[in-house]
């Protein structure tokens, strides 16, 4: 299959393999190839409708008919990722890349899979390939920064989030993860500034209030830290952060 741009569900700028023409058999390809292309089109529609199980079932049939169809492996890998089957997702994205080695989208999703599996070094490598092939993919820079953060490479994480924000200035997650990296690097005022941006974009982001409170506490902004902790605790703060917020609030309050 020829490579072409395919706008897909929330991921812009990633070059995917071209969408199938479901109007009939491909010229010179015979009925079987036309049938597999029609099924692939149905599978992509199911994926876009978030019916991932239906997409997988259709893609199983596509791959049975056309085992060299890189796009089918790619979409089955994406669907399996959405369903939480990371092993199958990884295997399918490996297959997609063996068939289409310049597939930026497959590198991107394989990096996402590796991140969720906790293999942060491999995630950094795959996401690096994704941005090399598609330097306009803000999400790939975002996730590469997150993986670098997990590896303790905070300055590099900041640089990746800078790239994400240069491409997509209103990307709240990039401000959030850059702020956390700044905190680890001891740049507390930078953390405060980034969490300010997150809160401006997402006023009910409990995590941002929590991390801004921690930064305020480091620069003796005790009153602001207490206010932020109280706000975080009034929102849907995850249980692991809630215990830490309560402990810090007890420590700061007279």
What was the pLDDT predicted at 28?
A: 40
For the chain, domains (ranges, CATH) are 170-254 (1.25.40.10)
Nearest to 40, CA basis, from 60, 25, 59:
59
Alpha-carbon gap, residue 182 to 191, rounded angstroms: 6
What was the pLDDT predicted at 254?
A: 78
What was the pLDDT predicted at 18?
A: 36
Asked if 143 and 126 count as a contact pair (C-beta separation under 8 A), the reply is no
Measure Cα distances from 8 to 48, 79, 90 in Å: 8, 13, 19
What was the pLDDT predicted at 229?
A: 98
Contacts of 82 (CB under 8 A, 6+ apart): 50, 52
What was the pLDDT predicted at 243?
A: 96
Measure Cα distances from 219 to 187, 225, 248, 249 in Å: 10, 10, 14, 16
Asked if 245 and 227 count as a contact pair (C-beta separation under 8 A), the reply is no
Measure Cα distances from 110 to 36, 89, 124 in Å: 24, 8, 10
What was the pLDDT predicted at 32?
A: 55
pTM for the whole thing?
A: 0.85
Alpha-carbon gap, residue 112 to 90, rounded angstroms: 10
Alpha-carbon gap, residue 157 to 180, rounded angstroms: 10
Alpha-carbon gap, residue 84 to 80, rounded angstroms: 6
Phi, psi of 105 (to 5 degrees): -65, -40
In the predicted model, residues of the chain with pLDDT beneath 70 are: 1-33
What was the pLDDT predicted at 178?
A: 98
Give me the sign of the Cα torsion angle 9, 11, 16, 18.
positive
Alpha-carbon gap, residue 88 to 79, rounded angstroms: 10
Alpha-carbon gap, residue 109 to 89, rounded angstroms: 9
What was the pLDDT predicted at 20?
A: 36
């Amino acid at each position: 299959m020829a490579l072409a741009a395919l706008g897909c569900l929330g991921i812009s700028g990633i070059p995917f393999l071209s969408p199938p023409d479901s109007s009939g058999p491909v010229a010179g390809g015979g009925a079987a190839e036309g049938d597999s292309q029609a099924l692939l089109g149905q599978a992509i529609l199911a994926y876009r409708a978030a019916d991932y199980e239906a997409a997988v079932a259709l893609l199983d049939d596509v791959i049975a008919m056309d085992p060299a169809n890189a796009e089918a492996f790619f979409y089955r890998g994406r669907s399996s990722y959405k369903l939480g089957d990371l092993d199958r997702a990884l295997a399918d994205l490996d297959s997609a890349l063996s068939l289409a080695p310049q597939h930026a989208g497959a590198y991107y999703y394989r990096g996402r899979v590796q991140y969720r599996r906790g293999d942060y070094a491999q995630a950094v490598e795959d996401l690096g390939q994704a941005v090399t092939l598609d330097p306009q993919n803000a999400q790939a820079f975002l996730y590469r920064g997150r993986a670098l953060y997990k590896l303790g490479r905070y300055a590099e994480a900041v640089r990746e989030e800078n790239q994400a924000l240069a491409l997509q200035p209103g990307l709240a997650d990039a401000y959030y993860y850059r702020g956390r990296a700044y905190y680890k690097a001891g740049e507390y005022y930078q953390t405060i500034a980034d969490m300010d941006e997150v809160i401006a974009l997402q006023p009910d982001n409990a995590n941002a209030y929590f991390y801004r409170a921690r930064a305020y506490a480091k620069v003796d902004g005790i009153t602001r830290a207490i206010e932020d902790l109280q706000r975080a605790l009034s929102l849907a703060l995850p249980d692991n952060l809630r215990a830490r917020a309560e402990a810090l609030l007890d420590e700061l309050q007279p």
